Amino acid sequence: MQALVTTTCAVRRRAGGGSLATTVEVPMDQVVPGDVVKLAAGDLVPADLLLLASKDLMVAQAALTGESLPVAKADTPTRAGDAARRDGSGDPAEADNLVLTGTSVTYGTATGVVVATGADTYLGSMAGAMAGERPPTDFDHGVRRVSLLLIRFMLVMVPVAFVVNGVTEGDWDFAVAVAVGLTPEMLPMVASANLARGAVAMSRRKVVVKRLNAIQDLGAMDLLCTDKTGTLTEDRIVLDRYLGVHGEEDPEVLE
């Protein structure tokens, strides 16, 4: 079904090797650096574009910044934004004359030249950073420590039992029984069962846990701080409590 549905964008190109450039509709995955793209209200931005001309351009970039309201863009950046771009500092999403992949035009028109596509875009760099390996949690470290401790016991106890029992009793199979006894066969099942029980308890509080290892982190947490992006909220601030450093209501904090 994805192969049957193609999203196109308006690109100015010289067709057939002619000298005059015409506007043609090409699939978004065929846009290359150097193409001049025309944008209008409702268009998806096919690549990272440097604006050449714009008129009342508003871009929704909640997927990149979390801002719920559209952001104004222009082909003439502000002095602060232009200086940030020159010295390489700042966030490209905040540049006035850049529109990025993953955003869409909500109002106005613009023309821009493609400066990056695919993995070289700002969105592509974010995806590459998120695709890295997940750092081990405290639960992973705890399981690894227990496993290493049991392995050390096996490395010590099995040879000792093998030699002592073999020499004194002539029973050379006892060491195998010791090794089997020290092997934590039930550890994965016990850990998974406890984590699943925690996930069920969280589901009763309308919390969906996608990764069971997170249960232990939630249980060990004292304070959770999150960033309010405004994307999924009502854009309305409500004062709930005003607490001091010891958790009591403090009028000075309210002031």
User: What is d(CA 46, CA 29) in angstroms, rounded to the nearest whole number?
Assistant: 8
Dihedral of the alpha carbons of 137, 142, 143, 147, in degrees to the nearest 10: 140
Catalytic residue status for 227 = yes
Collapsed DSSP state (helix, strand, coil) of residue 160: helix
Q: What b/e string do you get for 169-205 counting C-beta neighbours within 10 Å, with b at 16 or more?
A: eeeeeebeebbeeeeeeeeeeebeeebeebbeebeee
Exactly one of 227, 235, 240, 250 is catalytic; name it.
Answer: 227
| Helices and strands, number each (H, E), in the chain | 8, 7
Active site residues: 227
